[in-house]
Copies of this chain bind each other. A is one copy, B any other.
C-alpha cells in the first residue's frame, strides 16, 4: 500500500502541475526537492505571477523515521516509527472571481520497530475545499457534485459525512464564519483488515454511520477524489478567469485572504503540526496567499455581492 500510495501522489502531482500550467499559459512550476533530517523528504512545486494563478503550490512529501515527540504525546504512544506520504495543494488565483482551492490526500503508517515492515497501525486522510471571494451557486454545486460522485463510487454513505466534517473543520471559530464553502474532509480512516482492535474507520468526528472499508477501498477513495480535483476545479477557473474586475473587488479579495491566513495559522492542525514537528517551513507556508490586507473592522456594504458572500459563510448558502 505504501508504494502504491507514493506512486499515486507523484503521478497526481505531475498531472495537476501540467494541467494548471496549460490553463495558465504563462506561469510555470518551479521545483524544489528537499530532504528531511529525520528521514525522507519532499518535492515542492510552486507557480507564481501567472496569467491566472498568482501563487500556488502542489507539494508531495514522503517522510519517515522516529515519531516526533509532539505526535507521540498527542497519540499517547511512548516510542514508535512512522511513514507519512501525502500530496497537498493550494492555488491562489489572481482574479477575485476565481476561488482559491485546497486539496490534500495522505497516508500514514505506524510501526513498533525501526525496521518498518508490517504496520502496527495505518490510516488515510484527505479532502478538498473551495474558498470563493464572490459566491456563484453553480460553482458551489459543481465542486460538491464532483466530489460526491468520487465518494459515491466507493460507498454512498461517505459523502454526507465528509461534507459535514469539512464544514466543521474549515471554520474560523473566532469570527463565526466558514473559511470557504466546503467540500470534503476525512481523517484517521483505518482499513478494516488493519484496525488492530481500534475502531475500524474511526473518524475525527467519530461517525458510526460510516461503513467499514478495506485498505484497497480507502486507497481508491483517495485516488478517485485526487483525480477528480481537476474536474472539480478547472471548469470553475474557465468560467470565471476572464471576468473583468475592479480595484475594489481586488481589495475585497485581499481582505478575505486575510481570513485564509487566520485559519491556517490559528486553527489548521496540518499547518501547526508541520511547524511543531520541524517540517520544511517554506513548503508548509506556501499555502499563504501572496498579497493580503487587514483593515480595522472592514464591513461590506449591505446588499452587495461582498455582503452576500459573508452571509453565505456565516449562515450557509
Contacts and interface: CB of A to CB of B under 8 A. Distances in A.
A262 B288 CA distance: 10
Contacts of A288: 258, 294
Interface in A239-272: 254, 258, 261-262, 265-266, 272
Interface residues of A, number: 30
A69 to B, nearest CB: 14
Given A174-B275, A275-B174, A281-B174, A57 B296 contact: yes
Main secondary structure of the interface of A (DSSP, over half): mixed
A161 interface: no
Contacts of A292: 261, 291-294
Q: Which residue, of A46, A261, A272, has the highest number of chain B Cβ atoms within 10 A?
A: A261
A138 to B, nearest CB: 31
A139 B180 CA distance: 43
A282 B296 contact: yes
Contact of A291 (B175, B261, B282, B293): B293
A281 B177 CA distance: 13
Interface in A14-64: 30, 32, 46, 48, 55, 57
A286 interface: yes
Interface in A282-304: 282, 285-286, 288-297
Interface of A: 30, 32, 46, 48, 55, 57, 174-175, 254, 258, 261-262, 265-266, 272, 275, 281-282, 285-286, 288-297
B266 A261 contact: no
12 contacts: A32-B297, A46-B296, A55-B295, A55-B296, A174-B281, A265-B266, A266-B272, A290-B293, A290-B295, A291-B293, A292-B292, A292-B293
